Structure 1
Amino acid sequence: MPRYFFHYRTDEELVRDEAGSELADLEAAEQQAAEIGKAIIDKLAGEGGETRAPRTIEITDARGEELLYVVFWEGPKIGEGPASPVTPVSVH
């Protein structure tokens, strides 16, 4: 199985995934990136952190070739209640 790396980028930093994960294909890697993005937003929201800034998970292969960007953030608050996460968007 191919190994994919999930690098987390904000406006201020890039956190590189040095270990990577073996997954069946790029579609599985995209799903993994969306789950990572949701977990990051959930953690930030639970800690009272900034959740409205856009972030990306950059998926690369073992050679470092960029394969896919998954962009995510929590949507703006509209009306009553908490903001809701925006569905991650992939950029090929």
Structure 2
Amino acid sequence: MPRYFFDVRSRFGRDEDLEGSELPSMDAALDEALAMAGRLHDLWSGVPPESQKDIAIEIVDEAGLTVMTLPFWQIERAGRLERFHKTRLEWLYHSKESGEAASA
């Protein structure tokens, strides 16, 4: 099973996930990143809006390549954290084959 790492990036640098998690698929890695965002939401909600744009969770594969970026500002809150719908989430895929980023 592949191992994914969940790094938190901000204007202050990157907080690297040194352990990672073995997950069966990229979809499972996205689910884990969303769960992590939910756990961190209350902590980050006090950050000024202009600074929130600098915070993101980056999913990194075993080769050290960032395969997805989940920006904090895309997390919605309406009394509680809502689950993202993948069609609404504008995350970035970094294609291993072409080296070009594409929107999903």
Which residue matches 1:24? 24
Check 1:51–1:5 CA distance in 2 against 1; reply closer, same or farther (3 A cut): farther
Q: Structure 2: any 5+ residue segments left out of the alignment? A: 94-104
Deviation of 1:83 (Å): 7.9
SS in 2 for 1:14: strand
1:64 corresponds to = 64
Q: Please list, as runs of the form range in 1=range in 2, the aligned pairs for 1:39-50 lying within 5 A after superposition.
A: 39-45=39-45, 49-50=46-47
Q: CA offset at residue 43 of structure 1?
A: 2.7
Q: Where do 5+ consecutive residues of structure 1 fail to align?
A: 76-81
TM-score normalised per structure 2: 0.65
The offset of 1:89, in angstroms, is 3.8
- 1:1-92 equivalence runs, <5 A: 1-45=1-45, 49-50=46-47, 52=49, 53-54=52-53, 55-73=55-73, 87=84, 89-92=90-93
| Percent of residue pairs bearing the same amino acid type | 29
How big is the shift at 1:50? 1.1
The AA in structure 1 aligned to 2:47 is E
Match of 1:78 in 2: none
Higher relative contact order (CA 8 A, sep 6+): 1
Could you state the TM-score of these two structures normalised by the residue count of structure 1? 0.73
Equivalent pairs, count: 83
Instruction: From the superposition, tell whether residues 4 and 33 of structure 1 become closer, same or farther in structure 2 (CA, over 3 Å).
Output: same
**Alignment RMSD:** 2.5
